[in-house]
Amino acid sequence: MAIRSDAAMVLFYDVEGEPADHDGWHSHEHLHERLSIPGFLRATRWVATDGGPRNFVTYEVTGTDVATSPAYLARLNAPTVWTGAIMPRFRGMIRGFCSVLASRGYGLGARACVVRFLPLPGQEDRVAAEIADRIDGMAYRTGIASVQVMRPEAPPPMTREQALRGADRALPWLILATGYDADRLDAATRQVTAAVRDLLQEATMHGYALDHTATAEEVARTPRPAVTGPGGDPAG
């Protein structure tokens, strides 16, 4: 298994202003906060290498029902001061929960290729089957660590956090491929996408580099860092 479950929450977005402010908040408050919620297993932040939305974040979860769990919604409806300062700077948010239809390989490589796509109407099952068949071989090529195809589920409900940044755009289907050789990873992902291109309405691919990843188990044994406030560094 390339990821730890059969479900995930995925986000793509840019941030207006200094990226370091966002990254400090995301690493030292937000990841710890999210991974303290029951059902969240691992969080990973990636940063664009070729012009896509700067931030690509995945939260592996126990199931898509986490989207409407009382603990998760309570957190989203009570944003912290630091969150309240950062989220109005978010731009172009694409966010949603998805089911993992197929997953091959194991672990996460330091580089990722992400294809966002929409199947032609009526071709959803065929697209899912053909991609699943093609990533069987892809995941075990030199330079590749893991590959998965994900299908979006119903959009999550509006919350106070979302109101801070504006309405989210719906998450499309995804191919997420990770590896340790960026060129081989790019070529293999393009090959899989090209094989089903006639069955798609649209498809875009972007490259990302691993920036920070953490698990719920790590958070459970690590006190939440004290921070000096919006834009501040962890205290201590």
Q: Render pLDDT for 147-164 as a digit per residue (tens, 0 to 9).
A: 999 999 998 888 999 999
pLDDT value at residue 235: 47
Q: What is the pTM of this model?
A: 0.93
Measured distance CA(130)–CA(147) in Å, rounded: 14
Residue 236 placed within a domain: no
Instruction: Label residue 236 by pLDDT band (50, 70, 90).
Output: very low
Residue 227 placed within a domain: no
Domain count, the chain: 1
Residue 234 placed within a domain: no
Q: Report DSSP state, residue 236.
A: -
Sequence-separated (6 or more) residues with CB below 8 Å from residue 20? none
Cα-based torsion angle of the residue sequence 153, 164, 89, 214 in order, rounded to the nearest 10 degrees: -50
Residue 231 placed within a domain: no
Quote the mean pLDDT of the chain: 93
With 0-12 CB in 10 A as exposed, 13-18 as middle and 19+ as buried, what is 10?
A: buried
The residues that bridge with 96 in the sheet, in sequence order, are 10
Hey, what amino acid is at 110?
A
Residue 32 placed within a domain: yes
Measured distance CA(150)–CA(148) in Å, rounded: 7
Contact 232, 20 (CB under 8 A): no
Say which CATH number the domain at 28 has.
Answer: 3.30.70.100
Q: Is 229's pLDDT higher than 80?
A: no
pLDDT value at residue 188: 97
Q: Render pLDDT for 181-208 as a digit per residue (tens, 0 to 9).
A: 999 999 999 999 999 999 999 999 999 9
Measured distance CA(58)–CA(65) in Å, rounded: 16
Residue 98 placed within a domain: yes
Determine what percent of the chain is predicted with pLDDT higher than 90.
Answer: 86
Contact 116, 204 (CB under 8 A): yes
CA neighbor of 49 nearest in space, from 167, 179, 171, 192? 179
Contact 178, 112 (CB under 8 A): yes
Residue 94 placed within a domain: yes
Q: Is 228's pLDDT higher than 80?
A: no
Which stretch of DSSP H or E encloses residue 224? none
Residue 57's domain comprises 7-220
